[in-house]
Amino acid sequence: MESNENILEVENLKINFKTYAGTVKAIRDVSFNLKKGETLAIVGESGSGKTVTTRSIMGLLANNAVVEGGTVMFHDQDVLKMTEKQLQDLRGAKIAQIFQDPMTSLDPTMRIGRQIAEPLMVHKGMSKAKAMAQALDMMKLVGITNAENRINDYPHQFSGGMRQRIVIAIALINYPEILIADEPTTALDVTIQAQILDLMRELQNKISTSIIFITHDLGVVAGMADRVAVMYAGKIVEYGTVDEIFYNPKHPYTWGLLSSMPTLETNGDELPSIPGTPPDLLDPPTGDAFAPRNSYALKIDTEKEPPFFKVSDTHYAATWLLHPDAPKVTPPVQIVARQKQFAEMQKKLAAEKLSHPVEEEEERQ
């Protein structure tokens, strides 16, 4: 169950990469928190900084990465100041990660039962026999059929969907407090994708882990996340609850991402796309980095970076369009349609609550 307790707090994170071409300013002042038991989705195009941000949480930054500033507080400890030994104790035990391609995440020469059991033997000093017994239980929990007979199989003997279940089993075997899922369903077909997402939701309810879900697929976010952070060019440009981001988005970049996502109402017309490409972070632009691709850009967007404007207690967006003096603009038709759809849904829910007050009271008791 989600609580109000913050399990992770990232503040003013700045990460650069030293390259032959110069210094890439990959993460430019990123702040967010993660509550116990919630799912936070971080969305954005490739290169927006999603993976680098979460790798800093695991202490897995590349050798040419330089942390220019900020903190990553897990409970009362700054992960960025941990020793390698402390990080090794953290990874897999307290914070675990599911990677994008299950085949490259698994050791092709090791039986999968041993791979699932290994974190227990490393982090908890558990005997091989006991760890293997728990690995078998976890295999059943993640839905691997005929687990008793398959525990000694190798990764190549499983389908893509089953391999991803094995990767999830390895990540969850120590019941971590935080699970980072980096595009965990990208390599899978849509049916298997849905099964894996259902499985993650189910397991989250059972072990109360918090999830950071990295994706560029907003369709996945709708059914998975409690809150959403939208990233662009190394910065978070909007964050809010999943309903606020889907049905009342305020940043033009979020409008672009949502407009390019098909819905059940989408007909044969071509989907809108965001023109242009993300900026070169060797030399980040002055002002709002999205301005060159933004058809709603104001003059100030090219001169000064927008601060976060408050939309609600849980919803903030960094766009000059929210300034009191900014001209009023109408969002794209797809966004307006979503807002109407949400308003109708809210009315329907309110009407249902009014018509069944007694039942709800009974349920509460």
Q: Is the pLDDT of residue 20 over 90?
A: yes
Mean pLDDT on 70-78: 94
SS3 for 157-184 is HCCHHHHHHHHHHHHHCCCCCEEEEECC
pLDDT band, residue 186 (cuts 50/70/90): confident
Average pLDDT over residues 173-187: 86
User: CA 183, CA 101: separation in Å to the nearest integer?
Assistant: 9
Task: State what percent of residues in the chain have pLDDT above 90.
Answer: 61
pLDDT at 357 over 60: no
- Once rounded to an integer, what is the mean pLDDT over residues 87-93? 90
Mean pLDDT of 128-138: 94
- Count CB-CB contacts under 10 A for residue 148: 9
Mean pLDDT of 180-199: 80
For residue 361, pLDDT over 50 is answered with no
Q: Which two tokens stand for residue 306?
A: 């927008």
Which pair of tokens denotes residue 362?
């009974």
Mean pLDDT of 47-60: 92
Q: What letter does residue 304 receive in the DSSP assignment?
A: S
For 316-330, how does the pLDDT look when each residue is reduced to its tens digit (9 = 90+)? 999 999 999 999 998
Q: What is the pLDDT of residue 73?
A: 96
What is the length of the chain?
365
pLDDT in tens, 298-349: 999 999 999 999 999 999 999 999 999 999 998 988 888 877 777 777 777 7
Write down the domain spans for the chain: 104-173, 248-333, 334-365
**C-alpha 185 chain-centroid distance:** 12
Confidence band for 41, pLDDT divided at 50, 70 and 90: very high
More confident residue, 238 or 260: 238
Which pLDDT does position 112 carry in this prediction?
Answer: 95
Please check the confidence at residue 256 and state whether its pLDDT lies above 80. Answer: yes
Q: What is the pTM of this model?
A: 0.88
Share of the chain above pLDDT 70, in %: 92
Q: 310 forms bridges with which residues in the sheet?
A: 316
Please tell me what DSSP assigns to residue 82.
-
CA distance readout (Å), 293 to 120, 257, 274, 288, 290: 49, 12, 7, 10, 6
Largest CA distance in the chain: 68
